[in-house]
Amino acid sequence: SKAGQNPYDGFTPSVPSGEALTFGDENFVSLEAAGVKEARNAAFVLVAGGLGERLGYKGIKVMWLEFLIVYLQPRLGKSVMLMYHS
């Protein structure tokens, strides 16, 4: 970064725990159906790296999206649950 600091210092990458699925078997189909049902109520945002400087925002792009969502919620009459993953 510009400041010469690594925001990931002290973190160790690891493989998350989970379940290995076999494509097409009964368990896969059941879990896929449950996921599709839940995904209908979800939104996904993929943000490329970098800052939001060209957007006129000094923070990282992900935080700009949070700001936009919080701003739009009352105007749309809907509430959105923001989930953070680190």
Instruction: Read off the pLDDT of residues 52-86 as tens digits, 9 standing for 90 and up.
Output: 677 676 777 667 677 777 777 787 777 766 665 55
Banded model confidence at residue 39, pLDDT cuts 50, 70, 90: confident
Contacts of 63 (CB under 8 A, 6+ apart): 52, 57
Identify whether the C-beta of residue 61 lies closer than 8 Å to the C-beta of residue 51. Answer: yes
1 has pLDDT over 70: no
pLDDT the model gives residue 22? 94
- For the chain, the first-to-last Cα distance in angstroms comes to 19
Distance from C-alpha of 61 to C-alpha of 57, rounded to nearest angstrom: 8
Tokens 């896969």 belong to residue = 28
The residue ranking higher by pLDDT, 24 or 55, is: 24
* From 5-9, 18-22, 63-67, 80-84, the region with the lowest mean pLDDT: 80-84
